[in-house]
A and B are shown apart, each in its own frame.
Chain A
Amino acid sequence: MSQSNPTDRLYSKDHEWVKDNGDGTAVVGITDYAQEMLTDIVFVELPPVGKKVAQGEPMAVVESVKSVSDVYAPVSGEIIDVNKTLEETPELINQDAFGEGWIAKLRLENVAELKALLSAADYGALIKEEKH
C-alpha cells in the first residue's frame, strides 16, 4: 500500500506535497505517509475557489473516523481549482494520495517559497525519523 515519495514534486514538514506545473500554478495534496497515519479518511472540507491562502495556514480539513486534521498550504496563492471528487469519495486520498487524491490547484503568489520546501529525499529522511 505504501508508496514512495515521487521526485517530481516538493514536500512540507507538515506532510503536504506540491507539484509545480511550471506555468505559475501548482497542485497540492497530502503525502502517502500522512494518509497512512490518518487512516480511513471519511470527510474532506475543501476551500472555496478564489480563496487566497498564505504559506503555512490551514487550507483544507481532512477527517478520519477518530480525528480532525488541518491541511496547511505548502505555498501561498489563490485557489483556482479543487478536487470535488473528494466530497463523495474522500477515501481517494487513502488509495492514491499522490495522484487521484490531490486536494487543490493554486496560482502561485511567490515562486521563491518553493525553495524552502523539502526534496523527496529530505522528506523521506524526515518521516524515517518520525517513525522512530
Chain B
Amino acid sequence: MKKTPLYEKHVDLKAKIIDFGGWAMPVQYTSVIDEHNTTRAQATLFDICHMGEIEVKGPDALNLLQVVLTRDISGQKIGQVKLSALLNDKGGIIDDLTVYKMAEDFYMLVTNATTREPDFQRISSIRDNKNFDCKLSDISDKTGKLDLQGPCAEAILQSLTDTDLKSIHFYSFVESKVAGIPALISRSGYTGEDGFEIYAAAGKIGFIWDKLTAAGAANGLKPAGLGARDTLRLEAGMMLNGQDITEDISPLEVTYSWLVDWNKDFAGKAALATIRDYGIQKKLVGFVMTGRGIARHGYKVMSDSREIGLVTSGTFSPTLNKAIGLAFVDIDFAAPDTKVSIAIRDAVSPAIVVKLPFYKRQK
C-alpha cells in the first residue's frame, strides 16, 4: 500500500488504518462519531495527501480544459475554484474534480485518489489529439494536502498565516504561507462545514500538521479519519467517486446536471445528449430510513415486492441521529416524499425519498 507523508503520525496516534484505493489511510483515531461531531462543533484535521493534483500550463491550457471538462470555465477568475466533471466517450463520469485557476495560462486540477491516472491519460490524449500547446504534470507525489474543517477552522488557521482569511470566500483560494511554509489555502471541503483545504510541498506537510495541531488544541481540534469524512460528506449530500459515481453513470443521473454546460463542446457531449434526449431511467436520490435498521452499500430498494433500485451509500447519521443514504432508483420513484423500502438481510424496512442535502449548516 502507498503511504502518505503523514503515515507515521497516524500510527503514533494509534489510528485504525485501512486500504483505501491502494492507500494506507486512517479510518478513525478514536471514534467516528466523536470525530464527526467535533467537525460539526469545533474543527478537525484530515490527511488528504492521497488525492491527486495535475497542473495544466501553457497558451492552450484554457482551450484544453474547455474541451475536457463539462463545465464552461471561460469566466473563471484567477483565485477561483470550480467543481467540474470529466466524462468518457459514453457520457459516463471518469472523475468529479476541482479546477483551480492559478494564472491565465495555468490551472491545477485536484482529482480523486483513484482517478488521478485515468484523468491524466484522458486529458493527455485529448491534448495530443487536438494538438493543444500546453504541458500536463502530475504533481501528486510532491504535493501534500490537509483539510481543516469546522466552525473553528478559520480561527485556528488565522493564527498561522498573515493572509486575512475573511477575504477568502467559499470556493476561492490564495497562495500564501502557513506557519512560514508556502501553501495554497482554499476555502472549500467535503464535510458541509466551513473550512479550508491546504496544499503544500509533501516534505513540509508534516510540519504544517504539527503546527495546526498545536494551534488548534485550545479550540478542541482533533485529527479525523476517512470514517468521519464519509459520514460528514453523506450528511452534506455529497457523492463519493467510485461508490456513488462510476464510469457507467452520467452527470444527469446524479446531482451533477448543473456541471454540464450545453452551450459548448466537451468530450462525451454527443453521448450525453443522447442520454438527455432519450430521458434518464434512474436517478440518484437521498433517503431516510423511517423503519428500523441501517441501509448499506449494495442493499436493494423495494416498492411492494419489486426491486426498484440499489443503495450506493448508507450509514447512521450522527448529526440527525437516524439512518440515511443515497440510492439509484427507477425514475418513477425519484420524487421527494416517495415511500420505498430497503431490503435489510431477510426483512424489509420502510424509507422515504428526501431532498438533498440531509444537513445544511447554519450560516
Contacts and interface: CB of A to CB of B under 8 A. Distances in A.
Interface stretch (B24-32, B59-67, B334-342): B24-32
A63 interface: yes
Nearest to A42: B316
A40 interface: yes
Interface string B341-359: 0000100000000000000
A112 interface: no
Contacts of A63: 294, 316
B345 A40 contact: no
A65 B315 contact: yes
B318 interface: yes
A89 to B, nearest CB: 12
Interface in B290-308: 292-294, 296
Given A65-B231, A68-B296, A39 B345 contact: no
Given A39-B28, A39-B32, A40-B33, A65 B293 contact: no
B119 to A, nearest CB: 28
B242 interface: no
A89 B318 CA distance: 14
A57 B192 CA distance: 41
A45 B345 contact: yes
Interface residues of B, number: 19
Nearest to A64: B32
B227 A66 contact: yes
Contact of B27 (A42, A43, A61, A66): A66
Contacts of B296: 68
A87 B292 CA distance: 9
A40 B31 contact: yes
Contacts of A65: 32-33, 36, 227, 231, 315-316, 318
B316 A43 contact: yes
A68 B323 CA distance: 14
Interface in B30-46: 30-33, 36
Interface in B229-258: 230-231
Interface of A: 39-40, 42-43, 45, 61, 63-66, 68, 87
Interface of B: 27-28, 30-33, 36, 227, 230-231, 292-294, 296, 315-316, 318, 323, 345
27 contacts: A39-B28, A39-B30, A39-B31, A40-B31, A40-B32, A40-B33, A42-B294, A42-B316, A43-B293, A43-B323, A61-B345, A63-B294, A63-B316, A64-B32, A65-B32, A65-B33, A65-B36, A65-B227, A65-B315, A65-B316, A65-B318, A66-B27, A66-B28, A66-B315, A68-B294, A68-B296, A87-B292
